[in-house]
Structure 1
Amino acid sequence: MSKPRPISGFPEWLPPQRMIEQYVIDRLRRTFELYGFAPLETRAVEPLDQLLRKGETSKEVYLLRRLQADPDAQTGDDALGLHFDLTVPFARYVLENAGKLQFPFRRYQIQKVWRGERPQEGRYREFLQADIDIVDRDELAPHHEAELPLIIGDALASLPIPPVRIQVNNRKVCEGFYRGIGLTDPDAALRAIDRLDRFGPQRVAELLMSTAGASESQAKACLSLAEISAPDASIDDAVRGLGVEHPLLDEGLAELVAVLQTAAAHSPGLCVADLRIARGLDYYTGTVYETQLQGYERFGSICSGGRYDDLASAGADRFPGVGISIGVSRLLGLLFGADALSISRPVPTCVLVALPAESDRPAGNRVADTLRRRGIATEVSPSAAKFGKQIRYAQRRGIPYVWFLGVDGEPDGVKDIRSGDQVSAQAGSWQPAAADLLPTVSDQPAPAAGRPPENLDNMPR
C-alpha cells in the first residue's frame, strides 16, 4: 500500500488540537444552555430539491449516491446531498416536528457540514459549525434579533481567543433604500454589494449596472449606503442624510437601531452597524450578522447569520426565525495556524501508576480504578520497566504525576515529576493540584516539558 495523501479541505486535528476543539465545544454548549437553548442534531443528508431551493448554493452541494445508483434518478436515495449548513436542515426539522415543539423554539446544534468550495486557510470542505436559532409560529418578535449577538458575544468571550466585533446590518434597510432610488431587483443589488470586499467599488458598480439594472447614479448611491458604519443610533441620521425615503427603509432602520442599543447596554463595543454586510444567501430577510476576530480580519467572518421569514414554511404553515452560526473549524484553523492556542498537556491523563513488576498490575489497576471513580484521569504503565523509564514515558506524554505502589508495608507515594516533590498518598483521598486535574486551554505558548532528574533508575521513590 502506498503512503496515503491528505485530502485538502478535510482537516484532521492532532490529539492536542482535538482536545482544544472539544474544550471549545463544551464552552459553547454551556453558554447556549445558559440562555435556554436545547440541543439538536439532524441527519447529514437532505433531498436535493430542499438544499437547492434557497440561495446560490448549487455549486457547493456534495451529492450522495450509492455506487450502483441510477445516474439519471432524481428521487429517493439517489437524489440526496450533504447539507452545506445547519439552517436548511433545521427549517425542515421544524416543519416535520412542529406539532411536538413548544414555540418560540430555541435550539443549538454543533455538527459537521460539507461545502464544495476551494480550500484555503481557515476555509474547509468539511467543517464543524455551532448554530443557535430561535423560531416561532407565524410571527417572531424582533427583540430576538437583538438577543442573538449578545449570546454569541458571551460564548466567544468565554474562550481564550482575541476579542470579536459583530457587524450588523438589516436587509430591509438595503432593500428599502434600493427601492427608494428606483431599483426593481434589490436581491441582485444585495448580491453585488456582498462582493464589495473581494471586488472593490469599481467592479461592484459595474455589477450593479449589469445585474441589477442600476444606472450610474443609482450604483453610486448604493455604494454610498454601503460605506456607512456606526456603533450607535447615529446610523439612522447617516442613512437619512442620503435623502432616500421608503417605508421598508424606515422599518429596517428602527430594527437596526434596536439591535445596536440592546448590544450597547449589554456589551459596549460588541456590535457595530456596517451597511456593506449583505450575506449572500437569499433566505435572509431582516437583521444579518458577520463577526470579525480582531487581528484576523483579513480572513473574513468567523460567525454569521440573520433573520429569515420564509425558509421554514409550507402552505399555510410559517415559522419565521433568526439564527447565527460560529464556524468552529474556521476559527480554530486560523488560531492553530498562528500558534495562538495551546493546551497544558497533550493527553487527558493526570496520573500514571508505575509498576514495580508485572505481577503488580492487578494492584495498579485497583489504584487506577479508585482514582478514576473520583474523576482523576489515570492510566497504568504499559510495562513494568525500570522506574526511570516509566517516568520518562509519563514525561513524554505530558502526564504530571507518577503513582508508586507501596512495598513491604510502606504507603503508596505520588510524585510530581515536574518538581520532583513526592508525598505519601492514598488513592481514596489524594487530590492533584486543581490546575492539573484537567488539561487547560490557553492563548499562551504551550509549556516546554521539564527535564527529568538524572539517574532516574536509582532515584528514591
Structure 2
Amino acid sequence: MARKASLSGFPEWLPAERVVEQHVLDTLRRTFELHGFANIETRAVETRGQLLRKGEIDKEVYGLSRLAAENEDKHDPNALALHFDLTVPFARYVVENAGHLAFPFRRYQMQKVWRGERPQDGRFREFTQADIDVVGEGTLAFSYDVELALTIADALSALPIGDFRLRVNNRKLAEGFYRGLGLDDPDAVLRAIDKLEKIGNEAVATILIDEVGATREQADAALALAAIRTLDTSFVEQVRALGVEHELLDTGLDELFQVIDAASKRAPGKVMADLSIARGLDYYTGTVYETVLVGHESLGSICSGGRYESLASKGKKNYPGVGLSIGVTRLVSRILAEELVSAARTVPSVVYVTLADDDSWHQAQDVAASLRGRGIACEVASSAEKFGKQIKFADRRGIPFVWFTQEDGTHEVKDIRTGEQITADPSSWTPPAEDLYNTVN
C-alpha cells in the first residue's frame, strides 16, 4: 500500500496490492454467482432523508453539494449525500423496481461506500463492501437464513484469509430469554451485552443492574446466556439448563438450531452459535451474524448482517429479507499487512516484445497482436535500446518472457527467470498455464 497517504482513511493500493484486492472481488463474485445471486449496482448518492432513516448516523454521512452552492440547508431531507452502506440503497432499489423483480430476489453488490468516522486499523472513510441479500415480497422462508450462512462460509473459505468463525445468534432467542427472566426492556439488555468484548462481564453486570434495573440474579443469567458458544447444536441443551421459559425463546432456539445444524454438516468448524452476538442495528429481528478472523479478533467483524422483517415497504406491501455484508477493504488490508498472499507479478503482461531496430516497431506490433488475439497479455518496447537494457526493463516490470524477432524473420522467446530461450511462433506459442494470468500466491 502507498504508505504516505495524503488523506487518511482513503486507501490507495499499489499495482501488486490491487491484484490481491481484485482476486478477493473475483472470488466473491464467482462464489455468489455459483449460489444464484444476481449482480446489481446502485447509484453512489441518496437523499439525506433516505439515508438517515437507518438511525442516528448523521455525523457519519458525507453530504454532497456544489462548491458554488449558496445557503445550503444541511437539514434538507432532499439534499444529496454519499451512501454509507449498500443496504439503504438496496431497499430503495427494491421498492422502485419491485414490478420488474422476481421474488424472492437474490442479489449481490460490490461497491465503494463512504463513512465519516475516525480512521484506524481496519476502519476507513472510503471502502469497498460486498453484500448479498435475499428479499421476499410479503414473506420470506427461514431457509434463506440457513442458506446465506452457508454461502458466506463458502465465499470466505475460498479467500486467502486463514481460519474464520461465522458467529450466529438469534434476536428472538435473546429477547425471549430476557422476557422470560422478567426483564421488560430486551433492547436495553442487548445494548449492554453488545459491550461485553470491550468492557467485560462485571462492567456489563453493573450496567444491567444500575441502568436496566436487573437484579444480580437476572444479570448473572443474562451473562450466562451470552457465554454460550458451540460449533454444534449442543447450545440448545445449555440454554434449556438455565431454566428460563418463554414462547419467543422457543422460536429463536428452533431457528438457530436450523442454521447450526445445517452448517455443522456442510461447513464444519466454520459456523458457531455465539449467544453474545447482539448486532448494533435495531432493525434486525431474527438471525444475526458476525464474522471474525481467528487470531485477529481485534480487527473486529469482517462480515456481518442478519434477518430484517421489513427491508422496505410501500403501501400495504412489505419486503422482508436476510443479508450479509463483507468489508472487502478491511479484509484486503489485513491480507496485505500479514503478507498472507502476494501477486505473482506487478503487471498483467506476460511477454515483452523487443525491438531490434527503430524500423521494427510495426513488426513487433504484429507479434503482439497475434499473442493478444490468443489471450496472452503483452507490451512492446518503445525504443530499440540494447537488448540487455530491454531485458532489464522487462525484469523491472516483472514481465517473465522477452520476445525477439531475428533478421531472417524467425522468433525466439526467453524466460528471463531461468535464462531458457527457445524458438517460438507468435501464432502458436503459449506460456505455461501458471504464467498466463497474474495470480496470487
**Equivalent residue number for residue 94 of structure 1:** 94
Query: Which is further off, 274-283 or 297-306?
Result: 297-306
Q: Is the CA contact (8 Å cut-off) linking 2:19 and 2:439 kept in structure 1?
A: no
Looking at structure 1, the residues matched to 212 and 59 of structure 2 have their Cα atoms a distance apart, in angstroms, of: 22
Query: Which is further off, 151-160 or 171-180?
Result: 151-160
Q: Is the CA contact (8 Å cut-off) linking 1:55 and 1:283 kept in structure 2?
A: no
CA shift at 1:424, angstroms? 0.9
**Equivalent residue number for residue 29 of structure 2:** 29
Q: Is the CA contact (8 Å cut-off) linking 1:308 and 1:321 kept in structure 2?
A: yes
| 1:98-133 Cα shifts (integer Å, max 9, x gaps) | 111000100000011112222111211111111100
**One-letter amino acid of the structure 1 residue matched with residue 436 of structure 2:** L
**Equivalent residue number for residue 430 of structure 2:** 431
User: What's the secondary structure of 1:423's corresponding residue?
Assistant: strand
Looking at structure 1, the residues matched to 220 and 249 of structure 2 have their Cα atoms a distance apart, in angstroms, of: 18
| 1:141-171 Cα shifts (integer Å, max 9, x gaps) | 1111011121111112222220221110001
CA shift at 1:73, angstroms? 5.5
**Pair 1:288–1:91, CA change in 2 (3 A):** same
Matched, 1:168 2:160: no
**One-letter amino acid of the structure 2 residue matched with residue 428 of structure 1:** S
**Equivalent residue number for residue 139 of structure 1:** 139
Q: Is the CA contact (8 Å cut-off) linking 1:256 and 1:287 kept in structure 2?
A: yes
Looking at structure 1, the residues matched to 415 and 350 of structure 2 have their Cα atoms a distance apart, in angstroms, of: 10
**Equivalent residue number for residue 257 of structure 1:** 257
Q: Is the CA contact (8 Å cut-off) linking 1:347 and 1:399 kept in structure 2?
A: yes
Q: Identity over the aligned pairs, expressed in percent?
A: 58
**Pair 1:420–1:13, CA change in 2 (3 A):** same
**Equivalent residue number for residue 413 of structure 1:** 412
Matched, 1:297 2:276: no
Pairing 1:197-212 to 2, within 5 Å after superposition: 197-212=197-212
**One-letter amino acid of the structure 1 residue matched with residue 72 of structure 2:** P
Looking at structure 1, the residues matched to 358 and 208 of structure 2 have their Cα atoms a distance apart, in angstroms, of: 77
Query: Which is further off, 268-277 or 158-167?
Result: 158-167
**One-letter amino acid of the structure 2 residue matched with residue 227 of structure 1:** A
Q: Is the CA contact (8 Å cut-off) linking 1:56 and 1:282 kept in structure 2?
A: no
CA shift at 1:373, angstroms? 1.1
**Equivalent residue number for residue 359 of structure 2:** 359
Looking at structure 1, the residues matched to 436 and 73 of structure 2 have their Cα atoms a distance apart, in angstroms, of: 57
Looking at structure 2, the residues matched to 138 and 66 of structure 1 have their Cα atoms a distance apart, in angstroms, of: 40
Looking at structure 2, the residues matched to 280 and 190 of structure 1 have their Cα atoms a distance apart, in angstroms, of: 9
Q: Is the CA contact (8 Å cut-off) linking 1:56 and 1:281 kept in structure 2?
A: no
CA shift at 1:295, angstroms? 2.3
Looking at structure 1, the residues matched to 31 and 288 of structure 2 have their Cα atoms a distance apart, in angstroms, of: 21
User: What's the secondary structure of 1:309's corresponding residue?
Assistant: strand
Looking at structure 2, the residues matched to 260 and 76 of structure 1 have their Cα atoms a distance apart, in angstroms, of: 42
User: What's the secondary structure of 1:127's corresponding residue?
Assistant: strand
| 1:377-430 Cα shifts (integer Å, max 9, x gaps) | 0000122100000000000111000000121x2411100011111111111100
Give RMSD over aligned pairs. 1.6
User: What's the secondary structure of 2:225's corresponding residue?
Assistant: helix
Matched, 1:17 2:28: no
Q: Is the CA contact (8 Å cut-off) linking 2:279 and 2:288 kept in structure 1?
A: yes
Looking at structure 1, the residues matched to 158 and 73 of structure 2 have their Cα atoms a distance apart, in angstroms, of: 50
> TM-score w.r.t. structure 2 length?
0.96
**One-letter amino acid of the structure 2 residue matched with residue 45 of structure 1:** V
Looking at structure 1, the residues matched to 82 and 207 of structure 2 have their Cα atoms a distance apart, in angstroms, of: 31
CA shift at 1:323, angstroms? 0.4
Aligned length: 437
**One-letter amino acid of the structure 1 residue matched with residue 71 of structure 2:** D
| 1:49-90 Cα shifts (integer Å, max 9, x gaps) | 22222344333222223321433354465x222222111111
Looking at structure 1, the residues matched to 396 and 430 of structure 2 have their Cα atoms a distance apart, in angstroms, of: 22
Pairing 1:322-333 to 2, within 5 Å after superposition: 322-333=322-333
User: What's the secondary structure of 1:341's corresponding residue?
Assistant: coil
Note the residue ranges of structure 2 that are not aligned, 5 or more in a row.
Answer: none
Q: Is the CA contact (8 Å cut-off) linking 1:160 and 1:441 kept in structure 2?
A: no
Runs of 4+, deviation exceeding 4 Å: none
> TM-score w.r.t. structure 1 length?
0.91
Q: Is the CA contact (8 Å cut-off) linking 2:160 and 2:335 kept in structure 1?
A: no
Q: Is the CA contact (8 Å cut-off) linking 1:189 and 1:211 kept in structure 2?
A: no
Looking at structure 1, the residues matched to 210 and 95 of structure 2 have their Cα atoms a distance apart, in angstroms, of: 38
**One-letter amino acid of the structure 1 residue matched with residue 291 of structure 2:** T
CA shift at 1:261, angstroms? 0.7
Looking at structure 2, the residues matched to 157 and 46 of structure 1 have their Cα atoms a distance apart, in angstroms, of: 34
Pairing 1:362-381 to 2, within 5 Å after superposition: 362-381=362-381
**One-letter amino acid of the structure 2 residue matched with residue 119 of structure 1:** P
Looking at structure 2, the residues matched to 72 and 410 of structure 1 have their Cα atoms a distance apart, in angstroms, of: 71
Note the residue ranges of structure 1 that are not aligned, 5 or more in a row.
Answer: 443-461
**Equivalent residue number for residue 72 of structure 1:** 73
**Equivalent residue number for residue 275 of structure 1:** 275
CA shift at 1:19, angstroms? 1.2
Looking at structure 2, the residues matched to 315 and 188 of structure 1 have their Cα atoms a distance apart, in angstroms, of: 31
User: What's the secondary structure of 1:128's corresponding residue?
Assistant: strand
Looking at structure 1, the residues matched to 362 and 379 of structure 2 have their Cα atoms a distance apart, in angstroms, of: 13
Looking at structure 1, the residues matched to 205 and 112 of structure 2 have their Cα atoms a distance apart, in angstroms, of: 37
Query: Which is further off, 197-206 or 239-248?
Result: 197-206
Looking at structure 2, the residues matched to 422 and 10 of structure 1 have their Cα atoms a distance apart, in angstroms, of: 44
Query: Which is further off, 177-186 or 380-389?
Result: 177-186
**Equivalent residue number for residue 400 of structure 1:** 400
Looking at structure 1, the residues matched to 311 and 35 of structure 2 have their Cα atoms a distance apart, in angstroms, of: 24
Looking at structure 1, the residues matched to 180 and 47 of structure 2 have their Cα atoms a distance apart, in angstroms, of: 38
**Pair 1:74–1:297, CA change in 2 (3 A):** closer
Looking at structure 2, the residues matched to 146 and 186 of structure 1 have their Cα atoms a distance apart, in angstroms, of: 25
Looking at structure 1, the residues matched to 187 and 360 of structure 2 have their Cα atoms a distance apart, in angstroms, of: 73
**Equivalent residue number for residue 441 of structure 1:** 440
